[in-house]
Structure 1
Amino acid sequence: MKQDELLAGHLQELRRGTVVLACLATLGRPRYGYALLETLEKAGFSVDGNTLYPLLRRLEKQGLLTSEWNTEEARPRKFYQVSPDGEALLEQLTREWHVLDGAIRALGRRETDE
């Protein structure tokens, strides 16, 4: 397997593991799916629509997001926003993310010290 393919596969797994955190962090204000895709993309977090839309439905079913249809424009859009339970989970996941980041950094420092 080529190095580029290997890297791409591992990056995809890493992103897959963090997409919930990225969505919760982004949905502090209401956004519809395509706008969320664009926001994530601009931040350097590329997510496929076939991944995002089922995830949004799952997070809503879990009570982590709320949604509301906006039918005032020509094209109806479903807007998602993080719920109070989603905010609480976001705080917990963010703390864990920082712990993991610190652990990885510490492991890297230990390697250079040995």
Structure 2
Amino acid sequence: MDDELLGGHLQELRRGTVVLACLATLEHPRYGYALLETLDAAGFAVDGNTLYPLLRRLEKQGLLTSEWNTDEARPRKFYRTSAEGAQLRTRLMTEWRSLDSAIEGLDGETP
């Protein structure tokens, strides 16, 4: 199989799930770089150039809240899933599980 073809499809598949991954991970406050590390450690690698604009968009949509921690020498912006974001996460997780089940059912079918 062509690696470029596979890479494009994997990227498309991940693009649709990165919002859910962020909403699930940010149940506890994290700053951007820690979120990148957490997602990567879980096997969900996301580029910073993808993540930071996404965090700003989710915050603007009211799905995340943020606050600056200025206690350290370098200020850090911490993000957390809002109540509305938690509701969306629940609905997306339900849909994700339904889709996963449907795909599993299709995977075993014989033509």
Regarding TM over 0.5, the answer is yes
Q: Which residues in structure 2 correspond to 1:63-74 (within 5 Å)?
A: 63-74=62-73
Tell me how large the CA RMSD over aligned residues is.
0.9
Sequence identity percentage = 73
Q: What amino acid is aligned across from residue 79 of structure 1 in structure 2?
A: F
When normalised by structure 2's length, the TM-score is 0.97
How many corresponding residue pairs?
A: 111
What is the CA–CA distance in structure 2 between the aligned matches of 1:16 and 1:93, rounded to whole Å?
14
**Number of the residue aligned with 2:89:** 90
Instruction: Detail structure 1 runs of 4+ shifted over 4 Å in the superposition.
Output: none
What is the CA–CA distance in structure 1 between the aligned matches of 2:62 and 2:107, rounded to whole Å?
38
SS of the residue aligned with 1:5? Answer: helix
When normalised by structure 1's length, the TM-score is 0.94
**Number of the residue aligned with 1:62:** 61
Stretch of structure 1 that moved more, 82-91 or 3-12: 3-12
Q: Which structure carries more helix by proportion?
A: 1
Superposed displacement of residue 109, structure 1: 1.8
Q: Which residues in structure 2 correspond to 1:1-114 (within 5 Å)?
A: 3-111=2-110, 114=111
What is the CA–CA distance in structure 1 between the aligned matches of 2:36 and 2:94, rounded to whole Å?
24
Question: What 5-or-longer segments of structure 2 have no aligned partner?
Answer: none
What whole-Å deviation, never above 9, does each CA across 1:20-64 have from its counterpart, x for those lacking one?
Answer: 000001001100000000000000001010100000000000000
SS of the residue aligned with 1:46? Answer: coil
